[in-house]
Structure 1
Amino acid sequence: MTVLTPEQRANSLATMATETFDVLVIGGGVTGAGIALDAAARGLSTAVIEGQDWASGTSSRSSRLVHGGLRYLYNLDFKLVAEALTERGRLLSSIAPHLVEAQPFLWPLKMPVIERAYSAVGVGLYDILARIGSGGKKTVPIQKHLSKAGALARFPEIKPDALIGAIEFYDARVDDARLVITLIRTAQKYGAEAASRVRVTEVLKDDRGHASGVKAVDLETGESLTIKAKRIINATGVWTEETQDMAGGTGGLKVLASKGIHIVIPRERLKAQTGLFLRTEKSVLFIIPWQHYWVIGTTDTAWHEQLEHPVPTSADIDYVLAHANEVLGDKLTRDDIIGTYAGLRPLLQPKVLDESKSTKVSREHTVSEVIPGMVAIAGGKLTTYRVMAEDAVDFALGDAAKSRPSVTAHLPLLGAEGFEGVRNQAERLGAKYGFDADRMTHLLSRYGSEVGDLLATIDEDPSLGKPLAAAPQFLRAEVHRAAAVEGALHLEDIFIARVRLNSEARDRGGAAVDEVAEIAAAALGWDAAKVEEEKANYRARIAAELAAEDQSTDAAASAARMEAHDIVG
């Protein structure tokens, strides 16, 4: 079984210190993880390093959508939409059908005839592009036109005077952080060496001025290491300029950090059977149903504070509530909110940019040479990570790419192969372990065909089959797997990117800290002192994040968040 563990990490670092790699990827978000898989699956010796935890930046703080970008049709950006819809189809059908799920949305209409006509054309084109991109296959249902009564039946909480009817269309949703971790593990399956919390301090050059590797520090131990590589790919998102500046030269990319925030409310708060898509004056607002909660967002504002820990302000939260309440009859209040989070989009920056209009910046990605032997990639979005990865590796290889083409277009990620067969066993497996259909749906959507590995740990230790006392939607086995298989090195890694109570529970998982720490300690070999350090660190983070939400400006919110120090580095 392919695992990310402290032992694997140590072995990968030892290999990184002694070998010269064909490709070194800097950045462990969805783009970097996708690049690592693309390169490794081509047979290239590959190393991937990340300065924090896997997916700790933008890739764990998104809207959790796999979508074509319906709003980009308004800008006549057909190529971008078609590309994204093609990738959506691949993810749904072959690459990650266990992680990516088709999701219906309502687009409320406010004017008869004209609005319905042009909206129908737009959504119809969306459906056509999706069908073309999937080779004629229908990976999601096509649009459906609803009367006012039909729309209210699907989403009863909409104010009756907020629409005259609606169009129901489909996109898809994904747990963004889980996708990244699965990509890293799949890259590892194909031979990639992977290590999180390794920070680059210098880009090395040979006597020709070509990039030849990096100097880095292992943040867990403080030890320095040199990693040699024939090619370096910088996939560090909003840190793009910081990383490429280490190489000098005049090449590279400029990006704008644009903040998007989301709020989370309980699933039972809305009885709707579908999501909701709304256009705002600055961006779009999605109300997205998940199994146990709703995610509502997003905003789009320039961010000038520290990049590691963006946070929503009180004003951000009010903005999202206000726009949601424009169409909801039973208005949401702050008391309904059980979680919040903020992420930074790495938007490509043109030469002249009015930051008040960051939504005008293209979401298309660009690959650029920083110096010979080092390239940078930025822009794009989660949905098109695979295309970005293919383009980055092709660019880095140059003419050699013709003899080593990408093979990831239909390469299943771990948990995808055999998923349908395992899903057909859900009722039988549930009966064996005493899990209801809701529990099995939860487990299959997270682990796919690897659910058997998780159940095997319960066979070995039946206590792992019990739900967490403070968060019964998760099993103790899931916490164990986060540490024993999915690369969590610290308590916060579990809460933020694996058992995601940091953004899905009113207390950010505070009530589960003791139990989660106990399970993690057993898996990671922590002593009593280490357990107390981990618990204190995460509780300090909770306090800082909650304090940040009370601030009215980015600067004040950022300062409040930074009162809690990172556990390493």
Structure 2
Amino acid sequence: MPSQTRAALTPASRQEHLDQLRGATADNPLDVLVVGGGVNGAGAAFDAATRGLSVGLVEAKDWASGTSSRSSKLMHGGLRYLEMLDFKLVAEALRERDLLIQRTAPHLVKPISFVFPFFKKVFDRAFIGSGVMLYDAMQMIGRKRAVPMHRHLMHDKMLKHFPGLDGEKIVGALEYFDAQVDDARFVMMLVRSAAQYEAAVANYTTVIGYLREGERVFGVRVRDEITGEEFEIHARETILAGGVWTQEQQELAGADKGLQVLASKGIHITVARDRIPAAPDTGVITKTEKSVLFLIPWDEYWVIGTTDTPWEHDPDLVAATSDDIHYVLEHANAVLSEDLTREDVIGVYAGLRPLLQPIRKSEGSSSKVSREHTVMAVEPGLSAIAGGKYTTYRVMAEDVVDFAIKDTFPGRPSLTRTVPIIGAQGYQELVRDKQQIAAKHGFDELRTDRLLFRYGSLLTEVLALIDEDPSLVEPLEHAARYLRAEVLYAARAEGVVHLADVITRRLRLDYEVRDRGTASAEEIAAIVGPELGWDEERTRTEVDTYRAFIAARLEAEASHSDDEAAQAVSRAPEVPVLP
């Protein structure tokens, strides 16, 4: 049965989870150990734990600190994959998107509409329209629709609905629906959901070796990055969900074979919402010569991206360049009535897509590589998964757990089609009572909706902190979107270890405010420091390290090559090196 107490990732519970992992000996191994705390690893841990297995999950950095916090923040079917005739992937993604909206994560995934502009009146309306019609038809097979059907917009209607589009270039449009998600929070909630089902989870716990008994892998050796302690974790089955770090981990395991992953860089920028007039919760999608361009409404901002370029450097050093930013601005301006400039850019973030390497290296852009996932036995006792897309994480988790336990625990089916992610149960009741919540705490509608989307039914825990200390209802001085209570809750329940964990993933200040969170660093550190046991020296180190990290990112964003960007970022880590 799920344990609400276990779901709180506190500093004390981190030690309890580490003790549980340390207690997984050769005589008492875990059933399943998952390496990698992105969406696929967290999903696999949740899936395995809900099957009643004893589960461990370790991540070298923070939850979702890699690809899974740097996406386009969409749970979508992948309209562009229809053009590649990848019908299976699209159908699977649409089914999973609807499941999240309707049942398992309605508090974390919500519908959003997109306008697809037409530049050629007859051809685009016929070609794009037929594709979207098929997209909608695939959502109607055997289930109730989670989002509305598409509709065509004539020129005047389009401009009324989305005034920010360039009406001289664009002759009409089509509007269709998908969904969006706060990616980093989604992964953290998955981790908490796994913990709720007794999984032992530990971030900042690096795998430094794989344990073997003959040819079989039976666990890992790890290092706690907070204390420097090293210990072994024994497991009957180990699952590698390493994303773009997959090959590095396979080499560490001494595997003779394995999955090959192609890293493709995608960057996004944010601009203020009022810079592009549009109907609420309506974005834009259009094709570029190299990728797809999204203009996505994100609370008070627009998230605009993305790029698709090979990344041939250390995955830990990914960063946007000035040329990347210019590319996104140029292609956004191609569809907007008023040009955006570098001065409009509030924030920038970059991530790497882990795409399966084809058997023969394909010519041209990495965007031609299929996004379908693959599960593979790298070594006896070690299974790996790669590929896929964010929206299909649950299917990927089910597949890799099925594969890993097929001999050791046959007949244990996945339950995650019906088991909700933490915060979903009771969410609709809070939505129904949101006016009372707003009135009691003095919130406007925007803040109430924002809080419900971030926490779901766990909002009651955040509000309880305010009831205990009314000063926590105050917003941060330099980041008014977020309450002081949210910062305290991050330290008490959401598994933060470093200051950057709060600023960049529990909040999103590194791209939602112009100072990238540096102005709020001291205020946030003053709230979380006492909870995390920091002394004055540690607090100062955390603040200084974060500010240096942002300075390095800004230096990278002024560069003109990936080499320069990687070198800039390499000079300033996101978190302090301890002990």
Using the size of structure 1 for normalisation, the TM-score is: 0.98
How many equivalent residue pairs?
566
2:261 corresponds in structure 1 to: 255
| Counterpart secondary structure, 1:39 | helix
Q: CA deviation at 1:304?
A: 1.1
Q: Which amino acid aligns with 2:104?
A: I
- Counterpart Cα distance in 2 of 1:41 and 1:398: 16
Q: Which amino acid aligns with 1:172?
A: A
Q: CA deviation at 1:14?
A: 1.1
Taking the TM superposition and a 5 Å limit, the aligned residue runs for 1:329-408 are 329-354=337-362, 356-399=364-407, 402-408=410-416
CA offsets per residue over residues 321-350 of structure 1, 9 Å max, x none?
000011111000000000000000010001
- Counterpart Cα distance in 2 of 1:125 and 1:237: 31
Q: CA deviation at 1:234?
A: 0.2
16, 21, 36: which one pairs with 1:16? 21
Q: CA deviation at 1:525?
A: 2.5
| Counterpart secondary structure, 2:447 | helix
1:38 corresponds in structure 2 to: 47
Taking the TM superposition and a 5 Å limit, the aligned residue runs for 1:522-541 are 522-541=530-549
| Counterpart secondary structure, 1:557 | helix
- Counterpart Cα distance in 1 of 2:347 and 2:64: 19
2:220 pairs with 1:214: yes
2:194 corresponds in structure 1 to: 187
1:238 corresponds in structure 2 to: 244
25, 28, 53: which one pairs with 2:37? 28
| Counterpart secondary structure, 1:24 | strand
- Counterpart Cα distance in 1 of 2:322 and 2:59: 31
| Counterpart secondary structure, 2:567 | helix
- Counterpart Cα distance in 2 of 1:292 and 1:99: 17
- Counterpart Cα distance in 1 of 2:216 and 2:264: 32
CA offsets per residue over residues 27-84 of structure 1, 9 Å max, x none?
0000000000000000110000000000000000010100000000011111000000
- Counterpart Cα distance in 1 of 2:543 and 2:43: 32
Q: Is the CA contact (8 Å cut-off) linking 1:302 and 1:356 kept in structure 2?
A: no
| Counterpart secondary structure, 1:289 | strand
CA offsets per residue over residues 116-145 of structure 1, 9 Å max, x none?
12222211111111222xx32010000011
Using the TM superposition, name which of 389-398 and 557-566 deviates more.
557-566
- Counterpart Cα distance in 1 of 2:230 and 2:248: 19
Q: Is the CA contact (8 Å cut-off) linking 1:251 and 1:368 kept in structure 2?
A: no
2:170 pairs with 1:163: yes
Q: CA deviation at 1:421?
A: 0.8
- Counterpart Cα distance in 2 of 1:461 and 1:240: 45
Q: Which amino acid aligns with 1:163?
A: I
Q: Which amino acid aligns with 1:210?
A: R
4+ residue runs over 6 A deviation? none
Q: Which amino acid aligns with 1:320?
A: V
1:139 corresponds in structure 2 to: 146
Q: CA deviation at 1:352?
A: 2.4
| Counterpart secondary structure, 2:332 | helix
| Counterpart secondary structure, 2:359 | coil
Using the TM superposition, name which of 559-568 and 348-357 deviates more.
348-357
2:139 corresponds in structure 1 to: 130
| Counterpart secondary structure, 2:121 | coil
Q: CA deviation at 1:354?
A: 4.1
1:53 corresponds in structure 2 to: 62
- Counterpart Cα distance in 1 of 2:544 and 2:358: 43
2:501 pairs with 1:493: yes
CA offsets per residue over residues 67-106 of structure 1, 9 Å max, x none?
0000000111110000000000001011110110100000
2:569 pairs with 1:564: no
Q: CA deviation at 1:114?
A: 3.1
Two-structure CA RMSD over aligned residues (Å): 1.1
2:82 corresponds in structure 1 to: 73
2:430 pairs with 1:422: yes
- Counterpart Cα distance in 2 of 1:47 and 1:355: 40
2:511 pairs with 1:503: yes
1:227 corresponds in structure 2 to: 233
Q: Which amino acid aligns with 1:171?
A: D
1:94 corresponds in structure 2 to: 103
Q: CA deviation at 1:309?
A: 3.2
Using the TM superposition, name which of 120-129 and 341-350 deviates more.
120-129
Unaligned runs of 5+ residues in structure 1 are none
Q: Is the CA contact (8 Å cut-off) linking 1:311 and 1:557 kept in structure 2?
A: yes
Q: Which amino acid aligns with 1:240?
A: T
Q: CA deviation at 1:503?
A: 1.6
| Counterpart secondary structure, 1:23 | strand
2:205 corresponds in structure 1 to: 198
5, 10, 20: which one pairs with 1:5? 10
1:547 corresponds in structure 2 to: 555
Q: Which amino acid aligns with 1:56?
A: S
Q: CA deviation at 1:511?
A: 1.2
Q: Which amino acid aligns with 2:505?
A: A
Taking the TM superposition and a 5 Å limit, the aligned residue runs for 1:302-313 are 302-313=310-321
Q: Which amino acid aligns with 1:366?
A: T
Unaligned runs of 5+ residues in structure 2 are none
Q: CA deviation at 1:246?
A: 1.9
- Counterpart Cα distance in 2 of 1:224 and 1:456: 38
Q: Is the CA contact (8 Å cut-off) linking 1:301 and 1:356 kept in structure 2?
A: no
Q: Which amino acid aligns with 2:337?
A: G
Q: Which amino acid aligns with 2:126?
A: A
Using the TM superposition, name which of 348-357 and 405-414 deviates more.
348-357
Q: Which amino acid aligns with 2:171?
A: I
- Counterpart Cα distance in 1 of 2:255 and 2:429: 53
CA offsets per residue over residues 296-334 of structure 1, 9 Å max, x none?
000000001121131100000000000001111100000
Sequence identity of aligned pairs in percent?
Answer: 51
- Counterpart Cα distance in 2 of 1:249 and 1:159: 54
| Counterpart secondary structure, 1:141 | coil
- Counterpart Cα distance in 1 of 2:66 and 2:306: 16
Q: CA deviation at 1:383?
A: 0.4
- Counterpart Cα distance in 2 of 1:537 and 1:5: 23
1:438 corresponds in structure 2 to: 446
Q: Which amino acid aligns with 1:547?
A: E
Q: Which amino acid aligns with 1:316?
A: D
Q: Is the CA contact (8 Å cut-off) linking 1:252 and 1:375 kept in structure 2?
A: no
Q: Which amino acid aligns with 2:79?
A: L
| Counterpart secondary structure, 2:211 | strand
Taking the TM superposition and a 5 Å limit, the aligned residue runs for 1:462-481 are 462-481=470-489
| Counterpart secondary structure, 1:7 | helix
Q: CA deviation at 1:401?
A: 5.8
- Counterpart Cα distance in 1 of 2:169 and 2:402: 48
Q: CA deviation at 1:402?
A: 4.8
Q: Which amino acid aligns with 1:5?
A: T
Q: Which amino acid aligns with 1:119?
A: I
| Counterpart secondary structure, 1:568 | coil
| Counterpart secondary structure, 1:248 | coil
- Counterpart Cα distance in 1 of 2:232 and 2:410: 30
Q: CA deviation at 1:249?
A: 3.1
| Counterpart secondary structure, 1:472 | strand
Q: CA deviation at 1:505?
A: 1.1
Q: CA deviation at 1:11?
A: 1.0
